[in-house]
Amino acid sequence: MRRLLLDTHVLLWWLAGDPRIGPRTLRLIRDGKNAVFVSAASAWEVSIKKAQGKLTTPREDLGVAIAEEGFVPLPITVPHGERAGGLPPLHRDPFDRMLVAQAQEEVLEVVTIDPAISRYGVPTVDAAA
């Protein structure tokens, strides 16, 4: 069993049926033996970008979509916040830094196309593969 944490862009691609997710990654996400997590940070990021008019989403209610897809919601905890705040400044995006912290704390692989995530030493899955 693998424990996967979807980066925000991968979550949105999944919900939209976007072909940028590669066949290997599709198999990993679809494999019922794997646990697929979605961070509260992703919901927060999507909500901010929607409110700014920078993003439209394939499904209006992200919480419902996550549940319907069988993904596991991952709340942000105090240890996640402390770890994110203590990360070296290798990545400037605070949402991605939170995903890194959560991956470290919860022992998760981040599914992403962002090469900066792996600079923190967390295992990653190339979403395009």
Q: What is the pLDDT of residues 23-69, one digit of tens each?
A: 999 999 999 999 999 999 999 999 999 999 998 888 888 999 999 99
* Ranges assigned E (strand) in the chain: 3-6, 35-39, 72-74, 109-112, 124-126
Q: State the CB neighbour count (10 A cutoff) for residue 110.
A: 26
70 conformational bin, left if phi > 0, alpha if psi -120 to 50, beta if neither: left
How many Å apart are CA 86 and CA 72, to the nearest integer? 26
Report the predicted TM-score, pTM, of the whole model to 2 decimal places.
0.96
Check residue 91 and give its pLDDT.
87
Check residue 56 and give its pLDDT.
86
Q: Got the DSSP string for 1-19? A: --EEEE-HHHHHHHHHT-T
Cβ 30 vs Cβ 64: under 8 Å: no
Share of the chain above pLDDT 90, in %: 92
